[in-house]
């Protein structure tokens, strides 16, 4: 967890895959987080964004293999 005394705290928003919650400033373990995202709304879409990126990467791999 970030220290309250940090003069430059991370301003990003994260999605916690363990709790399914959006987190900002006070965050869980890094291994459980997706992000950072620029805002809360984008962090709430983290799983959708990950699925879209995976589909695109799979399609790119398939096209490259052909």
Q: Where are the chain's structural domains?
A: 13-65
Mean pLDDT of 1-26: 83
Q: Which residues, including other chains, have CB under 8 Å from residue 21's CB and lie 6 or more apart?
A: 15
Question: Do the beta carbons of residue 46 and residue 34 sit within 8 Å?
Answer: yes
pLDDT value of residue 13:
96
pLDDT of residue 62: 87
Instruction: Please determine, for residue 12, whether its predicted confidence score (pLDDT) is greater than 80.
Output: yes
So what's the pLDDT on residue 66?
A: 65
pLDDT digits (tens, 9 = 90+) for 15-61: 999 999 999 988 899 999 999 999 999 999 999 999 999 999 999 98
């Amino acid at each position: 967890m970030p220290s309250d005394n940090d003069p430059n705290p991370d301003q990003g928003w994260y999605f916690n895959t363990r709790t399914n919650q959006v987190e900002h400033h006070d965050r869980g373990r890094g291994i459980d987080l997706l992000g950072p995202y620029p805002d809360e709304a984008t962090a709430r879409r983290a799983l959708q964004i990950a699925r879209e990126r995976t589909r695109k990467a799979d399609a790119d791999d398939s096209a490259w293999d052909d």
